Chain A
Amino acid sequence: MNELQLIPLLPFIILAMASVVTILLIAFRLSHTVIQVTGFLMMCLVVFATWYVRDTLPEEVPPLFIVDGQAALFTGVIIFCVLVIGLFSYIYFEEREENPKEYYILLFLATLGAAILTISQHFISLFIGLELLSVSLYALIAYLRNRNNAVEAGMKYLVLAALSSAFLLFGMALIYMEAGSMKFSGIAEKLPQVSSSPLFLMGLGTIVVAIGFKLALVPFHLWAADVYQGSPTPVTAFIATISKIGTFAVLLRFAQTIHLQQYPLIIAIFSVIAISSMIVGNILALRQQNLKRLLAYSSIAHFGYLLVAFLPGNEAGTEAAAFYLIAYSITLLSAFGVITLLSSREHEAETLDIYTGLIWRRPVVATILAISLFSLAGIPLTAGFLAKFFVLSAGVQQAVWLPLAVLILTSVIGLYYYLRVINTLFGTSGTADVMQKTVHPFFHVSTYITLVVLAGMLFWIGVFPGLVLQGIRLFLLLH
Chain B
Amino acid sequence: MQQYLYLIPALPLAGFLVLSLAGRYLSRNFIAGIGAGSICISALITILLSARFLQSPPETGAYTQVLWHWFSVEGLVSNISLRVDSLSLVFICIITFIGALIHIYSIAFMREDRDYARFFASMNLFVCAMLMLVMADNLVLLYLGWEGVGLCSYLLIGFWYETPGNYRAANKAFVITRIGDTAMIIGLFLLFKELGTLYIPDVLARATQHFSSGADGVTLIAILLLCGGMGKSAQLPLQTWLPDAMAGPSPVSALIHAATMVTAGVYLIARMHTIFELSPVAMQITAIVGAVTLFVAGCSAMVQTDIKRILAYSTISQIGYMFLALGVGAWSAGIFHFFTHAFFKALLFLAAGAVIETLHHEHNIFKMGGLRKTMPVIFWTFTIGAAALAALPLVTAGFFSKDQILWYAWSAGGGHPVLWALALAGAFITALYSTRLILVVFWGEMKTTPGHLPSRVMTVPLVILAFFSVAAGWIEWPHNILHVDLFSEEVQHVLPATVLKEGLPAEIVFQLIAVVVSLIGIYSGYSLYYGQSPLLQQWKQSPTVMSVRDFFFSGWRFDQLYDALIVRPFLFITRINKSDISDKLYTAIANVSMLLNRQFSVTQNGSLRWYVTGVLIGILFIITLQLLL
0/1 interface trace, chain A 289-310, chain B, CB 8 Å (1 if under): 0000000000000000000000
> CB of B594 within 8 A of chain A?
yes
- Contact A222 B603, CB 8 Å, known A265-B629, A283-B593, A286-B594: yes
Task: Say yes or no: B622 contacts A160, CB within 8 Å.
Answer: no
Which of B594, B626, B629 is within 8 Å of A287, CB to CB?
Answer: B594
Chain B residues with CB below 8 A from A413, complex form:
589, 593
Task: Say yes or no: B615 contacts A160, CB within 8 Å.
Answer: yes
0/1 interface trace, chain A 247-269, chain B, CB 8 Å (1 if under): 00000000000000000110011
Q: List chain B positions with a Cβ less than 8 A from chain A.
A: 589-590, 593-594, 596-597, 600-601, 603-604, 606, 608, 610-612, 614-615, 617-619, 621-623, 625-626, 629
> CB of A238 within 8 A of chain B?
no
Q: With A and B bound together, what is the CA distance between A233 and B112 in angstroms?
A: 59
- Contact A268 B615, CB 8 Å, known A284-B597, A286-B594: no
Q: With A and B bound together, what is the CA distance between A193 and B148 in angstroms?
A: 69
Task: Say yes or no: A219 contacts B626, CB within 8 Å.
Answer: no
CB contacts under 8 Å to B, within A183-208, are 198, 201-202, 205-206, 208
Q: Which residue of B lies closest to A206 (CB)?
A: B619
- Distance of B4 from chain A, by nearest CB (Å): 31
Q: Which residue of B lies closest to A284 (CB)?
A: B600
For the complex with contacts A284-B601, A287-B597, 16 further pairs of A-B residues with Cβ separation under 8 Å are: A155-B608, A160-B612, A163-B612, A202-B623, A209-B615, A219-B614, A219-B615, A219-B621, A220-B614, A221-B614, A222-B604, A223-B611, A268-B625, A272-B621, A283-B596, A283-B597
Task: Say yes or no: B619 contacts A167, CB within 8 Å.
Answer: yes
Q: What is the predominant secondary structure among interface residues of chain A facing chain B?
A: helix
Task: Say yes or no: A219 contacts B597, CB within 8 Å.
Answer: no
Q: What is the predominant secondary structure among interface residues of chain B facing chain A?
A: helix
- Distance of A431 from chain B, by nearest CB (Å): 27
Task: Say yes or no: B625 contacts A222, CB within 8 Å.
Answer: no
Task: Say yes or no: B612 contacts A159, CB within 8 Å.
Answer: yes
Q: Which residue of B lies closest to A205 (CB)?
A: B622
Chain A residues with CB below 8 A from B611, complex form:
156, 160, 222-223
Chain B residues with CB below 8 A from A280, complex form:
600
26 A-B pairs (CB sep. < 8 Å): A159-B612, A163-B612, A201-B626, A202-B623, A202-B626, A205-B623, A205-B625, A209-B619, A219-B621, A220-B618, A222-B604, A222-B614, A222-B615, A226-B606, A265-B626, A265-B629, A269-B622, A269-B625, A272-B621, A283-B596, A283-B600, A284-B600, A286-B593, A412-B589, A413-B593, A416-B590
> CB of A343 within 8 A of chain B?
no
Q: With A and B bound together, what is the CA distance between A264 and B628 in angstroms?
A: 12
Q: With A and B bound together, what is the CA distance between A307 and B618 in angstroms?
A: 17
Q: How many residues of A contact B (CB 8 A)?
A: 37
Chain B residues with CB below 8 A from A77, complex form:
none
Q: With A and B bound together, what is the CA distance between A265 and B589 in angstroms?
A: 31
> CB of A246 within 8 A of chain B?
no
Q: With A and B bound together, what is the CA distance between A156 and B608 in angstroms?
A: 6
- Distance of A254 from chain B, by nearest CB (Å): 16
Q: With A and B bound together, what is the CA distance between A221 and B610 in angstroms?
A: 12
9 pairs of A and B residues whose beta carbons are closest in the complex = A219-B618, A222-B611, A205-B622, A286-B597, A222-B614, A283-B596, A265-B629, A283-B597, A284-B600
> CB of A213 within 8 A of chain B?
yes
Q: With A and B bound together, what is the CA distance between A220 and B618 in angstroms?
A: 7
> CB of A212 within 8 A of chain B?
yes
Chain A residues with CB below 8 A from B610, complex form:
222
Q: With A and B bound together, what is the CA distance between A160 and B622 in angstroms?
A: 18
Chain B residues with CB below 8 A from A221, complex form:
614
Q: With A and B bound together, what is the CA distance between A465 and B614 in angstroms?
A: 39
0/1 interface trace, chain A 158-189, chain B, CB 8 Å (1 if under): 01100110010000000000000000000000
Chain B residues with CB below 8 A from A287, complex form:
594, 597, 601
Number of A-B contacts (CB under 8 A): 81
Q: Which residue of B lies closest to A282 (CB)?
A: B593
- Contact A213 B615, CB 8 Å, known A205-B622, A286-B597, A413-B589: yes
Q: List chain A positions with a Cβ less than 8 A from chain B.
A: 155-156, 159-160, 163-164, 167, 198, 201-202, 205-206, 208-209, 212-213, 219-223, 225-226, 264-265, 268-269, 272, 279-280, 283-284, 286-287, 412-413, 416
Chain B residues with CB below 8 A from A163, complex form:
612, 615
- Distance of B621 from chain A, by nearest CB (Å): 7
Q: Which residue of B lies closest to A410 (CB)?
A: B593
Chain B residues with CB below 8 A from A412, complex form:
589
Residue among B596, B615, B625 having the largest count of chain A Cβ atoms under 10 Å: B615
Q: Which residue of A lies closest to B616 (CB)?
A: A163
Chain A residues with CB below 8 A from B596, complex form:
279, 283
- Distance of B619 from chain A, by nearest CB (Å): 5
Chain A residues with CB below 8 A from B625, complex form:
205, 265, 268-269, 272
- Distance of A393 from chain B, by nearest CB (Å): 15
- Contact A208 B622, CB 8 Å, known A226-B606, A264-B629: yes
Q: Which residue of B lies closest to A413 (CB)?
A: B593
Which of A159, A201, A219, A265 is within 8 Å of B617, CB to CB?
Answer: A219
Q: With A and B bound together, what is the CA distance between A453 and B33 in angstroms?
A: 40
Task: Say yes or no: B622 contacts A209, CB within 8 Å.
Answer: yes
Which of A159, A219, A269, A279 is within 8 Å of B608, CB to CB?
Answer: A159
Task: Say yes or no: A212 contacts B618, CB within 8 Å.
Answer: yes
Chain B residues with CB below 8 A from A222, complex form:
603-604, 610-611, 614-615
Chain B residues with CB below 8 A from A198, complex form:
626
Q: With A and B bound together, what is the CA distance between A286 and B591 in angstroms?
A: 11
- Distance of A261 from chain B, by nearest CB (Å): 15
- Distance of A264 from chain B, by nearest CB (Å): 7
Q: With A and B bound together, what is the CA distance between A206 and B604 in angstroms?
A: 24
Q: With A and B bound together, what is the CA distance between A226 and B615 in angstroms?
A: 15
- Distance of B626 from chain A, by nearest CB (Å): 6
- Distance of B123 from chain A, by nearest CB (Å): 31
Task: Say yes or no: A220 contacts B593, CB within 8 Å.
Answer: no
Q: Which residue of A lies closest to B603 (CB)?
A: A222
- Distance of A260 from chain B, by nearest CB (Å): 14
- Distance of A201 from chain B, by nearest CB (Å): 6
Chain A residues with CB below 8 A from B621, complex form:
219, 272
Q: With A and B bound together, what is the CA distance between A385 and B600 in angstroms?
A: 27
- Distance of B205 from chain A, by nearest CB (Å): 34
Q: With A and B bound together, what is the CA distance between A70 and B601 in angstroms?
A: 38
Task: Say yes or no: B629 contacts A268, CB within 8 Å.
Answer: yes
Chain A residues with CB below 8 A from B622, complex form:
205-206, 208-209, 269
Chain B residues with CB below 8 A from A279, complex form:
596
Q: With A and B bound together, what is the CA distance between A280 and B618 in angstroms?
A: 14
Q: With A and B bound together, what is the CA distance between A280 and B594 in angstroms?
A: 12
Chain A residues with CB below 8 A from B618, complex form:
209, 212, 219-220
Q: Which residue of B lies closest to A263 (CB)?
A: B629
Task: Say yes or no: B600 contacts A205, CB within 8 Å.
Answer: no
Task: Say yes or no: A205 contacts B593, CB within 8 Å.
Answer: no
Q: With A and B bound together, what is the CA distance between A283 and B610 in angstroms?
A: 20
Task: Say yes or no: A164 contacts B615, CB within 8 Å.
Answer: yes
Q: With A and B bound together, what is the CA distance between A212 and B622 in angstroms?
A: 12
Chain A residues with CB below 8 A from B617, complex form:
219
Q: Which residue of A lies closest to B629 (CB)?
A: A265
Chain A residues with CB below 8 A from B606, complex form:
226
- Distance of A304 from chain B, by nearest CB (Å): 14
- Contact A225 B615, CB 8 Å, known A205-B623, A284-B597, A286-B593: no
- Distance of A262 from chain B, by nearest CB (Å): 14
Task: Say yes or no: B612 contacts A205, CB within 8 Å.
Answer: no
Chain B residues with CB below 8 A from A206, complex form:
619, 622
Chain B residues with CB below 8 A from A212, complex form:
618
